[in-house]
Amino acid sequence: MTNVIKVANVGDIEDEEALILSAEQTGNNDAIAIFFSDGKYYALNDTCTHEEASLGDGWIEGDEVECPIHAAKFSLCTGAALCLPASQPARTHKVELRGDEIWLHVGVPADGAGTQAT
Ligand code: FES
């Protein structure tokens, strides 16, 4: 299932912060967190693959996010679980910029590099 939706404008998400969209808002089977860090946008399924924590509420540094409950780290680029206790990757979604608008391609895997803000 793919769904392309406008989620925010450039500037709406502060550096090292995330915007969390509910499953109802995106049509995905999980909430999706849109991360902004070091000038790039990323999107991951919001629920940690270890238990039920919100990755959008985690600590963002560079191209990684640390789960707020048990401190597993995930790559924002690929969704890969970088350390235990998580071992399964988080699902990525493609983020596209159209001028000042941030668009999300729900269900389309990210290209692994993040989306550079202009
Ligand atoms: S819930 Fe994320 S590491 Fe445990």
Tens-level pLDDT at each residue, the chain (118 residues): 569 999 999 999 999 999 999 999 999 999 999 999 999 999 999 999 999 999 999 999 999 999 999 999 999 999 999 999 999 999 999 999 999 999 999 999 999 999 999 7
Structurally, the chain folds into a number of domains equal to 1
- How many Cβ atoms are within 10 Å of 38's Cβ, its own excluded? 14
- Looking at the DSSP bridge assignments, the partners of residue 42 are 35
The pTM assigned to this predicted structure is 0.96
Q: Which atom of ligand 1 is nearest to the CA of 85?
A: 3
Q: How far away, in angstroms, is 48 Cα from ligand 1 center? A: 6
CB 110 within 8 A of CB 42: yes
CATH number at residue 49: 2.102.10.10
Q: How many CB atoms lie within 10 A of CB 25?
A: 14
Domain that holds residue 20: 3-116
73 Cβ inside 6 Å of ligand 1:
no
| 118 half-sphere exposure, CB direction, 13 A CA radius | 8
Residue 74 CA, ligand 1 centroid: distance in Å: 11
Instruction: State which amino acid sits at residue 93.
Output: H
Which of 30, 44, 46, 50 gets mutated to test ligand 1 (max ligand atoms within 8 A of its CB)? 50
Cβ(51) – ligand 1 distance below 6 Å:
yes
pLDDT value of position 29 = 95
